[in-house]
Structure 1
Amino acid sequence: MSEVMTIGEPMVNLIADSNETYLEARTLPRQMAGAEFNVAIGVSRQGHTVSYVTTLGKDWQGDLILEYMNGIGIDTTNIRRMTGAATGYQLKVRSSDGEPKVIYFRSGSAASQTTPDIVDTIDFDGVKILHVTGIFSALAPNTYDTVSNLVDAARSHGVTVLFDPNPRPTLWPGKEAMIAATNKLAAKSDVFMPGLEEGRLFSGAVDPHDIAKFYLDMGVGKVIIKLGDEGSALFELDGNSSVQKTVVPSFTVNVVDTVGAGDGFASGVITALLEGLDTRHLLERANAVGAIQVTSVSDSEGLPTAEELRDFIASTPRKELSL
């Protein structure tokens, strides 16, 4: 079994690799997309094994995704196929400000039909880290229940749970429902990893220290706050129950496309945990993978190998950051 497991909605990504509109574009290269899929690719590129849990339609998109996963060594044992619902896909066009225009075709998708009983057949032998996000949790009540069941099962097997809230407000019936559901999952996690504005939204606090304390008081072991392109901070309790903070700046790069930066960051955190890196080097790696990813138009094609990551860290200038 793989070292890492994730659950989500993988999608085919059709990209116009220019600033053209969809009407102007004459070619749409096929790549892969989906936050959890990006993380899985990043973990695999860094030399670790990963398993994916989801449901795909019996269609060309599902066939393409399975072929891609099998080709790079992602374990597909826990992927179901179904008729009557399609595999999601998306269209993306670049923009000059690094924030691409994306249209999703995922309503009623096969992934959104995933039910909690999928957890019943999962073998956790060898799994060390489970990565979940707020995106798949928000697709439908049944996917939230599936994620919750998977987290409970993982914890019962001694698996470390990493939760990236990655909020999608349009997928929830309302703001309060999103906050309550997110915090319920956060309380079950060992590592909670919000962006700064996300942390403010979900905790009601403003200062990063207060955000972290909100979740540490819930029993979360580590709170990692992403500080945009400036860097990141990790908060945890020491033996005297005092909050310890580590802050590490990010790297200076030319931004092409911001999509996937947080997913790259997550893959850096996961692989650093697997390799037992100390807190400072964990954040350095996560910042580096996120920075590398924003230099690529693809959601995941820019994610580095272990060797590329080492070279980038050794040769790329750092920003300054104080918190």
Structure 2
Amino acid sequence: MAEVMTIGEPMVNLIADSDQTYMEARNLPTQMAGCEFNVAIGANRQGHSVSYVTTLGEDWQGDMIVDYMNTIDIDTGNIRRTTKASTGSQLKVVLPDGDPKVIYFRAGSAASRTTPDIVDDVDFDGVKVLHVTGVFAALAPNTYETESRLIDEARAHGALVTFDPNPRPTLWHSEEEMIYATNKLAAKSDVFMPGLSEGQLFSGRQDPRDIADFYLDMGVKKVIIKLGDAGSALFERNEAGERVETVVPSFVVDVVDTVGAGDGFASGAITALLEGLDAEHLLERANAVGAIQVTSVSDSEGLPTRAELERFIAETPRKEVSL
């Protein structure tokens, strides 16, 4: 039984500290990767139970991922294994500006072959939040259908659906297809969490308030827009149908590695939703987790425990933000 469920492609992350090719790298630290996996780890470190839905290969990468999940008590009961495809992996080359180069080895991966019938065996007992992204949906038509069906079943079981579009244009045939497919999933979600530029792309609107209205009019309950490193804004409607907004600044940190910041943000937002925090404290927590993550060379290693998070919020200066 888990409070949070997610579906995605967990990967083994090989870290190189210089601009070297995969074959030249001889001794690489190994970590975990995958945007949904990062969110799962973040929610887990904040003290919430998590279940992961995916397909992994019967290979050392798949074994490493399952072992890691079992070690930190992420439920693996909804994971399939296959001998017909390999588990995905990635090589991250750390660059001085904090924006790393990532090389993927995931084409035709086991996760990309996940089919909708996996949902038949999913245990929704105790699940309060289903978190999905646009990445897994983009891998193949079958993964899009799988994610869509999982959303429908989760909602039927009373779960809240959070959706981070996390666009990957190269995985779609066209930008138009990506926008249409993403907005179909957004319309099924309760909480939509785009970055500002993503919201502009998918809604065709520029102002954060107009973007929020676009999705609130679809029936989304909360629209949370990440405003880069400055902070974030949450939009919802009150009982009178009026738009209500909350804007909260982020924190002053030294950026080392930008990957995983949005995933950290999502884990903070999800755990805040589970704990019933108000909009201001939800954004404060989400901003804090995202800020902490960028201070670490990894996709998820910097994600904080509850004690680390509370100390960071209490001690770290804030930026200024406005819409």
Report the TM-score, using the length of structure 2 for normalisation. 0.99
Distance (whole Å) between structure 1 residues aligned to residue 291 and residue 177 of structure 2? 32
Distance (whole Å) between structure 1 residues aligned to residue 322 and residue 123 of structure 2? 43
Residue in 1 that maps onto 2:49:
49
Residue in 1 that maps onto 2:20:
21
| 1:205-227 CA-partner distances (Å, limit 9, x unpaired) | 00000000000000000000001
Aligned partner of 2:65: which letter? I
Residue in 1 that maps onto 2:208:
208
| 1:19-57 CA-partner distances (Å, limit 9, x unpaired) | 342366442111000000000000000000000000000
Distance (whole Å) between structure 2 residues aligned to residue 83 and residue 9 of structure 1? 16
Residue in 1 that maps onto 2:320:
320
SS in 2 for 1:56: strand
Distance (whole Å) between structure 2 residues aligned to residue 31 and residue 37 of structure 1? 11
Question: Does 1:272 find its partner at 2:272?
Answer: yes
Aligned partner of 2:20: which letter? T
Aligned partner of 2:281: which letter? H
Distance (whole Å) between structure 2 residues aligned to residue 26 and residue 181 of structure 1? 41
Structure 1: give runs of 5+ residues left out of the alignment: none
Distance (whole Å) between structure 1 residues aligned to residue 110 and residue 79 of structure 2? 11
Residue in 1 that maps onto 2:136:
136
Distance (whole Å) between structure 2 residues aligned to residue 157 and residue 113 of structure 1? 25
Distance (whole Å) between structure 2 residues aligned to residue 92 and residue 123 of structure 1? 34
| 1:120-174 CA-partner distances (Å, limit 9, x unpaired) | 1112111000000000000000000000000000111110000000000000011
Distance (whole Å) between structure 1 residues aligned to residue 155 and residue 273 of structure 2? 16
Residue in 1 that maps onto 2:34:
34
Work out the percentage of aligned pairs sharing the same amino acid: 76
| 1:46-81 CA-partner distances (Å, limit 9, x unpaired) | 000000000000000000000000000000000000
| Matched positions, count | 322
| 1:221-260 CA-partner distances (Å, limit 9, x unpaired) | 0000001100000000011111100000000000000000
Aligned partner of 1:28: which letter? L
RMSD: 0.8
8 Å contact from structure 2 (residues 78, 123) kept in 1: no
Structure 1 residue ranges, 4+ long, deviating more than 2 angstroms after superposition: 18-26
Distance (whole Å) between structure 1 residues aligned to residue 4 and residue 88 of structure 2? 23
| 1:166-207 CA-partner distances (Å, limit 9, x unpaired) | 000000011000000000000000000000000000000000
Residue in 1 that maps onto 2:288:
288
Question: Does 1:90 find its partner at 2:90?
Answer: yes
Distance (whole Å) between structure 2 residues aligned to residue 91 and residue 19 of structure 1? 11
Distance (whole Å) between structure 2 residues aligned to residue 24 and residue 99 of structure 1? 21
SS in 2 for 1:229: coil
Distance (whole Å) between structure 2 residues aligned to residue 322 and residue 19 of structure 1? 38
Structure 2: give runs of 5+ residues left out of the alignment: none
Distance (whole Å) between structure 2 residues aligned to residue 133 and residue 5 of structure 1? 12
SS in 1 for 2:13: strand
Of stretches 92-101 and 24-33 in structure 1, the one that deviates more from structure 2 is 24-33
Distance (whole Å) between structure 1 residues aligned to residue 6 and residue 19 of structure 2? 34
8 Å contact from structure 1 (residues 19, 96) kept in 2: no
Report the TM-score, using the length of structure 1 for normalisation. 0.99
Distance (whole Å) between structure 2 residues aligned to residue 322 and residue 135 of structure 1? 29
Give matches, 1:224-303, under 5 Å.
224-303=224-303
SS in 2 for 1:148: helix
Distance (whole Å) between structure 2 residues aligned to residue 163 and residue 31 of structure 1? 25
